[in-house]
Amino acid sequence: MTIGDFNVLPRPQLGTHMYRRTLIGLIEEALVVSLRYPDNGDSWIATLFTKNGVEFCSSDREFRSRNDWVPSTWMFDDVAKTWVVINEDSEKKARPVNKEEFTIPAPTPGEKYMSWRSRVFREVPALKKEDNASDMISEVWHARENENDAQA
């Protein structure tokens, strides 16, 4: 479902997690802590708490830019240049990274773990971007230990 057809953000609930992309490309997150709205009508004003203080969001604004406050269940579609609602059931999962994608150099005999680890990150800089890089490196290190125990 795209949001491009809507002119206003639906009224959030208290405790709704919201986010926006700042002008320097960082993600800023906030929590809805207060809502003001009349009994009748769709207009509302929300108070958001962020790390940097208090922000305000209201129904009087069109949400078309990636720099607007939106619920965390929304994702900006770069092709359509609009917001897309992600269903909770079909939420995208992070792709698993296989060790075969990276050629991790083997530790040299007598090399300490931390010096080998820093050498791996120097030789394979793309590995720094992966969330599970430490686990991958640790698996290679432990596999080397298990091979040495089997040979002894």
Task: Write the single-letter amino acid at 79.
Answer: V
Q: What is the pLDDT of residues 93-120, one digit of tens each?
A: 433 334 446 788 888 888 899 999 999 9
Report for 19-33, 61-75, 117-131: range of highest mean pLDDT: 19-33
Segment holding 57, helix H or strand E: strand 53-58
Cβ atoms of 73 and 84 within 8 Å: the answer is: no
Model confidence band, residue 31 (pLDDT cutoffs 50, 70, 90): very high
Residue 17's pLDDT band (boundaries 50, 70, 90)?
very high
- What pLDDT score was predicted for residue 54? 93
- Between 6 and 99, name the one with better pLDDT: 6
Q: Which residue has the tokens 């269940």?
A: 73
